[in-house]
Amino acid sequence: MKRWLTILLCLLAPLGPLSASAQHRIMSPAVADAKFRVEAALTALPTLQFTIKDQTDTERRLFVEASGGLVKRMLVLQLETVKPGSDFRFVFPAKPPRQFGPQVYRFGAYAYDDAAAAAR
């Protein structure tokens, strides 16, 4: 894992950074309240933009703290926008991901309309 991250850093570093202030403030164009301020000690790598299964446009922002050629800390922020006409939706497994002893716990609650969100 460390080798992969080191290779990624080496490949992306020559592309050059954006201004530090712009890189460390991330805002979602679709959700006005979704604002992130990233610690200045983390170095911003160039933004990655790609499509997932022709359903969403994706922007991934990577921030790292490296020392001696090794990544000490890394933050990944990923913003996704559903493409018009896509029927994309998150499908969660029936069994929640947290189990303590014999008990299974579900966490998080929200009201969300997949069809309305995809239409927007």
Nearest to 9 by CA among 43, 38, 52: 43
Closest CA to 8 of 72, 64, 73, 67: 64
Closest CA to 30 of 84, 81, 97: 81
Question: 42 with 19: CB under 8 angstroms?
Answer: no
Length of the chain: 120
pTM given for the model: 0.57
Q: What is the pLDDT of residues 37-48, one digit of tens each?
A: 999 999 999 999
Task: Give the residue with greater pLDDT, 87 vs 7.
Answer: 87
pLDDT digits (tens, 9 = 90+) for 77-105: 988 888 888 888 777 666 666 777 777 77
